[in-house]
Structure 1
Amino acid sequence: MVVLNKIYTRTGDAGETALGNGTRVAKHDARVNAYGTVDETNATVGLARLHAKGDMDAQLSMIQNDLFDLGADLCRPDMEKDAEADYASLRMTDAQVARLETEIDAMNAALAPLRSFILPGGSALAAHLHLCRTVSRRAERLAVELAAVEAVNDAAVKYLNRLSDWFFVAARIANDNGADDVLWVPGANR
């Protein structure tokens, strides 16, 4: 159980922050950038949920919870030391990735194949989902960059990769199952 009695601590005033294992690092550290962008993704999902209803809202709610799990995973380095930690680290799982894949397949079954790239937009929900997609892609790039120099849970990177695909397909669903997608017209303004 998390208890936050005092919001400011002044411990970050010198430009450092604590990771999940207590290690202090610069606020511009690659790990902090990765999980910070996951948090930013979560905020964009909150905006999208203002326009979502029913199953879409329920799925977005699950994604928001997953994104907190993902942030917890990324903020805790030293995966090889998980077994000797005082408490179990929260790590993303392949089951969370598989759930996204199942949802993507179900949504995609209702859509006609794309014959053009689409522009972000259409309905308010679709526009917000495209924003979610682009921010989650940035989070993925940062997680991959981190994984090039430090250990990162493979399921965390896979989840981010599927998540941006989920947002893309969900945006098409939000655009009346693709009927209101805004198609790119190459060279239209020459």
Structure 2
Amino acid sequence: MKIYTKNGDSGKTSLMNGISVSKSDDRIELLGTIDELSSNIGLAKVIADQSLSDRLSKIQKELMQMMAGIADPRNLVYRFTKEEILALEEEIDHLEDSFPRAKEFVLYGGCEQSARLDVARAVARRAERRFRKVAQNYGADSKAMQYMNRLSDYLYVAARYADYKASSDPDEGMRQEVVKNVMKSMGR
């Protein structure tokens, strides 16, 4: 079977329930944003330690479930539960208890891992906004929307934890000092 079907050439696509919609439909925009989020999580995952990589893989699977629920909203198999939200909250709490998180504005990009996680977080926030629009126009799984909100919080805290770990790594501290000196010598 070929990857291209030519069905979308007219600007339409189908949801899992067989309904044909415009590729500019709010649900398709949301699905695309969640796909972009999962791709960015994959980008963060490839340089993560095993524990974070495992957690990010689990999140990607949950995002697939979410996408299926958006594409087929009447299928209850894809609905999110309170337990999935609580599990993510526990992860956030565990991470926050692991380091002294600064409570002020953060300049992103403290290290490569945090930069990748912050890009994913920003996409998660966009997905959350698009989810609200879909909910207004078509209805949506309220637990999946809560999960998306917690996910952006999780990604934020995971990024700050990555910054914390990198700042306590002597090699990372030396790398940042070199960058600072180069920028200074360039008059910036």
Paired with 1:141 and 1:51, the residues of 2 have a C-alpha distance of 28
Q: Check if 1:122 corresponds to 2:110.
A: yes
Whether contact under 8 Å (1:110, 1:177) holds in the other structure is no
User: Is 1:45 matched with 2:12?
Assistant: no
- 1:132 paired with 2:128, answer no
Identity %: 38
1:71 to 67, 90, 103: 67
Q: CA deviation at 1:171?
A: 0.3
Q: How many residues align?
A: 169
Of the structure 1 ranges 33-42 and 5-14, higher mean CA displacement relative to structure 2 is found in: 5-14
| TM-score (norm. length: structure 2) | 0.84
> C-alpha offsets along residues 28-77 of structure 1, whole Å, 9 cap, x if unaligned?
10011111100100000011012101211110110111111111111113
The match for 1:104 among 92, 95, 119 is: 92
- Matched letter for residue 109 of structure 2: G
- Cα distance between partner residues in 2 of 1:115 and 1:90: 36
- How large is the Cα RMSD of the aligned pairs? 1.7
For the 8 Å contact 2:131–2:145, the answer to whether it is kept is yes
CA contact (8 A) 1:72 1:91 kept: no
1:15–1:27 Cα contact (<8 Å) kept: yes
C-alpha separation between the residues in 2 aligned to 1:103 and 1:21? 34
Structure-2 residue corresponding to 1:146? 134
Comparing 23-32 and 66-75, the one that deviates more: 66-75
| Alignment pair present for 1:176 and 2:172 | no
Q: Could you tell me which runs of 5 or more consecutive residues in structure 1 were left unpaired when the two chains were aligned.
A: 83-87, 181-190
Q: Specify the alignment match of 1:185 in structure 2.
A: none
**Separation in structure 1 between the aligned mates of residue 103 and residue 161 of structure 2, nearest angstrom:** 16
SS at match of 1:174: helix
Q: Deviations over 1:6-37 (max 9, x none)?
A: 31111111000000100000001001111110
Instruction: Specify the alignment match of 2:53 in structure 1.
Output: 57
2:31 maps to which of 32, 35, 38? 35
Query: Which runs of 4 or more aligned residues in structure 1 lie more than 6 Å from their structure 2 counterparts after TM superposition?
Result: none
| Equivalent-residue separation in structure 2 for 1:115 and 1:164 (angstroms) | 17
| Structural mapping, 1:16-31, within 5 Å | 16-31=12-27
8 Å Cα contact 2:111-2:166 kept in structure 1:
no
Distance 1:113 1:123, change over 3 A: closer
Moved more, 26-35 or 92-101: 92-101
Could you list the per-position Cα deviations for residues 99-152 of structure 1 after superposition, in whole angstroms to 9, with x for gaps in the alignment?
A: 111100000011224231102211111000000000010001000111011110
Selected match of 1:159 from 122, 127, 147: 147
Larger Rg: 2
CA contact (8 A) 1:92 1:156 kept: yes
